Structure 1
Amino acid sequence: MSSSAFLADFHAVAEIGATEHQGVDRQAATEEDRQTREWFRAFAVERGWEVRVDGIGNQMALIEFAPGAPHILLGSHLDSQPLGGRFDGAYGVIAGLHAAERIVRRVAAGDPPPPVNLAVVNWFNEEGGRFAPSIMGSSVFAGLMDETQMLAVRDLSGVSVEEALAAIGYLGTDARPDIAGYAEIHIEQGRILEREATAIGAVDFSWYTQKLDIEVLGEQSHTGATAMADRHDALVGAAKIIVKVHEVTDGFEPEALVSSVGQLTLEPNSPIVVARRVHLVADLRAAEKDIVLAARARLLEEIAEIADAAGLTINVRDFDVRDNQYYPENGIGLAESVSADLGFGVRRIRTMAGHDSVAMNRIAPTVMLFIPSVDGVSHCEREFSRDDDMAAGVDVLTEVAWRMLHGALHDAPEPAHSAITAPVPR
C-alpha cells in the first residue's frame, strides 16, 4: 500500500506546535497537546472507530473484529520535550493509526478476520518534561504507578496533572480495554541502525536506569555584602554535584554508563541573593544494573564530601528506578521474520532510552521496533528520520500487528518482571 497518506499525515501533525527550526513543542496537557489529540480523535471518528480516554488521559481508538475479545494494542505518544523533535513518539502513534487502517482494509477485502480486536493508543506524558516521572500514562495503565498519586503530580508552575488534563478536556473516565499484546515503533535515538545501514531494529532489552532527586540546602544572603568565607551557597554546591555526575562515567569502560543532570531549579533565583535551595535530578543509565549501582554509590560519597566542605545540607532520594526489561524472544523473532519477508535488513538492538513498551512488556507480550535516526540525535529540533525509513517501518509494523492479531505471540512466555518505583509527587 502507498505510504503517501501516512507521510502526509505525519508532516501535517508536525505543524502542530512547530518550532522555528523544524522541531515541535507539545508538552503534556498543553494547548498544543490538545490539538494533536483532536487530530487523533478526528482520524478515528472519520473511520467509525470508538475513541476512549481513561482516567490518566491515555487516548485510544478501538476497532472491533471479535466482540468481547481482548485487543492487540499499537501506539506511542504525541507529547514532546520542550523544543523537542517531531519524530519522537509521534511517529509511532501515526504509524499505528495507519497500520490499523491497512489491517481494516485487508479484512474488508476478504482476508480472514482476526479472533481478537485492535486498538491504537496515544499515551499520556511519556516524555515527563512537564510532569515527572516520564512514561506516566502507560505505567498507570499497566498498574505500575498509582493513578491518584500521578494525578496529584504538579509541574514547576504548581499545576497538577488532573487540573491540566481537565483544562484541555482530556481527563477521561472510560474503561481501559483488555490487552492481549502490544507493539510500538519508534526512532532509534542512536546511531547504530544508520551506521550499519539497517532498516529495522528489533529491541531485545532495555537498559537499567535510575534517577537521583537531589535537594541542596544552603543559606540565603546578600551577594554584595556577605564575605566569601561566610557563604553557604547552594548553587555552588549544586554546580559541583553536576560536574561529579558528568565525571562519574570516567570510572567505567567507555559508553558503559551515561549520566546527566537535565533539570535544575533554584531559590530565590535573584541576581543579588546567594541561593538558599537548589533542586536537581541526576539520571544514570547502563546496560548492567551493577554499573548504575556502583556509580550511584560513588556519587553519594562525593555528594557527602561536598556537603561537609561547604557547610550545606544535601538530601538525596532514589527516584524513578527502572530495572532491565527483556522482550519476549518470539516477539523479537517475529520482528526479524517480518522484516526479512518484506526485504528489509534487521538487527537486534537494545534501548538505552525508556519507552511505553517497557511498561507494557510487564503485562502483555510486547514487540518494540526501531527505525534509523540521522546522527542519532533526539530530544532536540535537529532530530530527523528519513521518509523512506519511516515508510518501511509502517510496512513492518502493519505485518507484525497482522500476525499478532492472528496469534503469532499466543504462546509467548511471560515477560521478565522487574520493578518500576513511583516517586512521591513534588
Structure 2
Amino acid sequence: MTDRAQAIADRVETFVRDVVIPYEKDPRFAVHGHGPGEDLVAEMRAKARDAGVLTPHILPDGSHLTQRETAIVLQRSGLSPLGPVAVNTMAPDEGNMYLIGKVATAEQKAHFLAPMIAGEARSAFFMTEPAADGGAGSDPSMMRTTCRPDGNHWVINGRKAFITGACGAKVGIVMAKSEAAESAGGACMFLVDLPDPAIRIERLLDTIDSSMPGGHAVVTIENLRVPADQMLGAAGEGFPYAQVRLSPARLSHCMRWYGAATRAHEIATAYACRREAFGKRLIDHEGVGFMLAENMIDLKQAELMIDWCAGVLDGGSLGTTESSMTKVAVSEALMRVADRCVQVMGGSGVSGDTIVEQVFREIRAFRIYDGPTEVHKWSLAKRIKREHREAMA
C-alpha cells in the first residue's frame, strides 16, 4: 500500500471514530426512516472539510486514488454508516463522480462534478424502473423510459424506482432509450440539474436500510427537456457507460460495508469479552468464540477479494466478471459476519443500543443493491458456459 493512501486512510479513520460515530445517536439520523437529514449531512461535511478528509479518494488535482488505494480509504470511512456520508464517499455520489470524471466534457465537469467533489451537491442515478411497469431492474435492456430529440433538446418520459438520493439531490444522471440511437445500442445518459418540475417524486420507499440521504424514491419523469450538450458521452452508449460505473461501484460497496462489518465485529467482540454467563465470559464458551473466529476468517477473505478485484480494475480491465465475483463473495461473507454479531450479543444485538442492529439491516440490503447475488451468479454461469463452448470448438 502506498504511503499517501495509508496516510489518508488513517486520517479518515480518526475522523470517523472521533467525530462521526457520536452522530449515530443524533435524532437527525434516519429521519423518517429515509436517511440522515440534510442539515446533518451539511454539518458533518463541514467538519470533514475542516479536517481535510472530505472526498478523500479524489486528489486536489482532480485525479483519483487507484482502486487499491481507494479500498483502504473507503473501508475506514465505512466504520460508521454515517462515515461515507460525512466524508463524501457514499453511494450513489461516489460512483456518479467516477462516471462523470471518466465520460463528461470539461464544461460538464465544471458544472456538475465540481460541486459534488466539494461536497456541496448530492446526486442520483436514474436507471432502475418499477417492476410493476415491466421496467428495467437487474436487466437494463428492459428499460422503458424513452428519450427523443427535439431541436437542440432531448425530451425524456418514463418512471424510475429505487432512485437513491433523488430527494434533495442537485445533480441527476438520467438513463433512457432512444429509437434514434437504436443502431448504437439505444441507451443514452443525460446530466440534469435538480430539482426539476418535470421530475416528480411519487413517494419514498420504506426500505430495510436507512443510511443514505434522501432514501430511495419512485419517480415520474414527464416531458423533461434536456439540452443536447448535457448528454453524457455519445448517443446510444448508455449501456457501456453503465458498466463503466457499475463495476467499480459494486466494489466500492464492498469496501464501505467491509468497514461497517469490521466495526460490528469489534462491538460484538468487546461484548463477548466482558459479558459473563454460566460461570465464565461469553468468549470462553466455544459456541461464541467459534462465531467470532469465523468472523475473522470471513473478514480476511473479504479483504483479500476486494484487494484482488481492485488490482484487476487498476490493471485497466473493465472487471465485470471480477466485480460480480467479489460482490457475491463479499456481500455474503459480510452478511454472515453481521448475523453472527447480532447472535453473539443476543437481545442487545437486535436493539438500537449499538450500531450492530443497523449494520445488519444495511448489509442485508447490500446483498440486493447493485445486483442480487443470484443475478451475478447467473451472469457468471453464462460465462462458464461460453468459455466451455469456446474451449470445445
Q: Give the TM-score, by structure 2 length.
A: 0.28
Query: Per chain length, whose mean CA-contact separation is higher, i.e. which structure has more relative contact order (CA < 8 Å, sep 6+)?
Result: 1
Structure with a larger share of its residues in helix: 2
Pair member with larger Rg: 1
Q: Which has the higher strand share?
A: 1
TM-score, with length taken from structure 1: 0.26
